[in-house]
């Protein structure tokens, strides 16, 4: 049997993955692109994928597991041709740590006005901002899973007044955990900054639209570290232009790379990151892959399985 490594990445990045995977899983046979030959296709037991092209995993009759190297599986689930075998996603403490760093940087920069100070410097202005304590700054984290949970706790440790919102009840030290639709609008209305770490599903697409942006506290900021399609981009621009929102820190976009000429590029209230809030760290992620492969072969429970019907 063989393992298929498939993704949309530069050759150098693929080669780095392959060499780390070979070291973690010695003796395996690897394929680097979906096989055209039916004999080879019948040999593929597991597909290890990073944002693969739609349709690239069908015609693998003996496939037993799809292991995503990405945490978010929205694009995989949109591929109607994906075989109905177990799908596992990437969960790695190194990724959680990277996400917590990005969220902390964004929240701290908003709280202390550091983005505005960068603009002041460009304008040659010397103006000292008002200094609030962290406890006077309310943060709402949407999604309290692997990433959102770690982010909420990191911010709470820094002294921020942190609330979190998820589908089911959650309990996190130092975090006021809310759940369900009824809790959403009051939570949005209280927060000085909202950090989005929801998965992209049918229920969360266009989550930030004219209605929910209007429900946010006037002058609040939005940090989107999850998926671009959580936001109706034109509604966000309207909210920023009207002063309803003070700033948006955006790591993810409806179209990536963000197209040339998009208004976000030059908007004075938008800070852009190139989808780098928390990249998969191949050095630790290969151990996650290896563990699931061993579990599969030993007939043990697989880790981090996606529930396809709920979309994450
Ligand atoms: P996760 O562990 O599956 O957690 C998802 C959280 O969202 C859970 O708390 C879940 O609630 C909540 N949720 C889901 N649907 C909801 C709904 N309709 N209403 C309210 N809460 C809902 O996911 P994760 O590992 O934290 O990852 C989150 C997302 O981050 C990924 O899907 C991906 O899009 C994004 N991401 C971005 C980057 C980047 O670099 N920008 C990197 C990695 C991942 P329950 O606990 O009740 O199920
Ligand atoms: C990155 O966005 C991921 O989902 O891992």
Residue pLDDT, tens place only, 229-283:
999 999 999 999 999 999 999 999 999 999 999 999 999 999 999 999 999 999 9
Catalytic member of 111, 150, 227, 230: 227
Mutate to test the pocket of ligand 1, among 143, 168, 250 (most ligand atoms within 8 A of CB): 143
pLDDT tens sequence across 117-145: 999 999 999 999 999 999 999 999 999 99
Q: Which residues contact 1 (CB under 8 A, 6 or more apart)?
A: 29, 43, 44, 45, 62
129 Rama class: left (phi>0) / alpha (psi -120 to 50) / beta = beta
Q: What is the pLDDT of residue 203?
A: 98
The CA 75 to ligand 2 mean position distance, Å, reads: 10
Q: Which pLDDT belongs to residue 238?
A: 99
User: pLDDT tens, 180-196?
Assistant: 999 999 999 999 999 99
User: Do 150 and 249 belong together in one domain?
Assistant: yes
Give the separation between CA 179 and CA 183, rounded to whole angstroms: 6
127 and 266 in a single domain? The answer is yes
Residue 278 Cα, ligand 1 centroid: separation in angstroms?
Answer: 13
Give 54-103 pLDDT, tens digit per residue: 999 999 999 999 999 999 999 999 999 999 999 999 999 999 999 999 99
Residue 105 lies in a domain: yes
What pLDDT is attached to residue 34? 86
pLDDT at 230: 99
Q: Could you tell me the two tokens for 5?
A: 């490594």
Residues 120 and 221 in one domain: yes
Residue 279 alpha carbon to ligand 2 centre in Å: 7
pLDDT per residue over 242-255, tens digit each? 999 999 999 999 99
The domain tally of the chain equals: 2
The active-site residue, picked from 275, 283, 304, 310, is 275
* CA 130 – ligand 1 centroid, Å: 34
Mean pLDDT, the chain, rounded, equals: 97
Q: Are 55 and 34 in contact (CB under 8 A)?
A: no
Asked whether residue 58 falls in the same domain as residue 167, the answer is: no
Per DSSP, which regions of the chain are E strands?
2-7, 29-31, 44-50, 65-68, 87-88, 138-142, 161-166, 175-179, 193-196, 220-224, 245-250, 270-272
Ligand nearest to C-alpha 275:
1
Q: Is residue 240 part of a domain?
A: yes
Annotated active-site residue 230? The verdict is no
Note whether 226 and 199 are within 8 A (CB).
Answer: yes
pLDDT in tens, 7-66: 999 999 999 999 999 999 999 999 999 888 999 999 999 999 999 999 999 999 999 999
Is residue 289 predicted with pLDDT exceeding 90?
yes
Structural domain range at position 123: 95-272
36 or 299, which is more confident:
299
What pLDDT is recorded for position 109?
98
Q: For residues 38 and 119, state if they share a domain.
A: no
In angstroms, the CA 247 to CA 127 distance is: 19
pTM of the predicted protein model: 0.98
Closest by Cα among 20, 34, 36, 91 to 63: 34
Per the annotation, the verdict on 227 as an active-site residue is yes
Q: Could you tell me if residue 147 is inside a domain?
A: yes
CATH number for the domain including 289?
Answer: 3.40.50.720
Considering the domain architecture, whether residues 167 and 85 belong to the same structural domain is answered as: no
Question: Are residues 236 and 147 part of one domain?
Answer: yes
């Amino acid at each position: 049997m063989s393992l298929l490594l498939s993704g949309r990445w530069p050759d150098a990045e693929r080669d780095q993955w392959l060499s780390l995977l070979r070291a973690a899983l010695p003796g395996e046979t690897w394929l680097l692109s979906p096989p055209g030959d039916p004999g080879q296709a019948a040999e593929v037991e597991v597909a290890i994928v990073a944002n693969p092209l739609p349709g690239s995993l069908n015609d693998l009759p003996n496939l037993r597991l799809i292991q995503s190297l990405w945490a978010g599986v929205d694009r995989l689930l949109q591929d109607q041709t994906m075989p109905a075998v177990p799908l596992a996603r990437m969960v790695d403490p190194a990724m959680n740590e990277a996400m917590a760093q990005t969220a902390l940087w964004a929240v701290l920069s908003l709280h202390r006005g550091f983005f505005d100070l960068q603009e002041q410097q460009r304008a040659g202005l010397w103006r000292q901002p008002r200094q609030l304590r962290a406890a006077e700054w309310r943060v709402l984290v949407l999604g309290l899973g692997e990433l959102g949970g770690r982010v909420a706790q990191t911010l709470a440790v820094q002294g921020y007044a942190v609330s979190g919102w998820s589908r089911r009840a959650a309990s996190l030290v130092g975090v006021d955990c809310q759940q369900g639709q009824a809790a959403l609008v009051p939570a949005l209305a209280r927060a000085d900054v909202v950090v989005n770490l929801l998965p992209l599903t049918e229920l969360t697409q266009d989550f930030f639209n004219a209605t929910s942006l209007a429900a946010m506290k006037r002058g609040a900021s939005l940090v989107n570290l999850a998926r671009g399609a959580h936001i109706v981009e034109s509604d966000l621009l309207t909210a920023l232009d009207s002063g309803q929102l003070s700033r948006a820190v955006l790591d993810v976009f409806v179209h990536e790379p963000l197209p040339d000429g998009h208004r976000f590029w030059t908007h004075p209230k938008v800070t852009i990151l190139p989808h780098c809030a928390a990249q998969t760290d191949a050095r630790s992620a290969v151990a996650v892959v290896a563990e699931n492969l061993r579990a599969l072969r030993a007939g043990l429970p697989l880790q981090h399985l996606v529930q396809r019907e709920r979309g994450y």
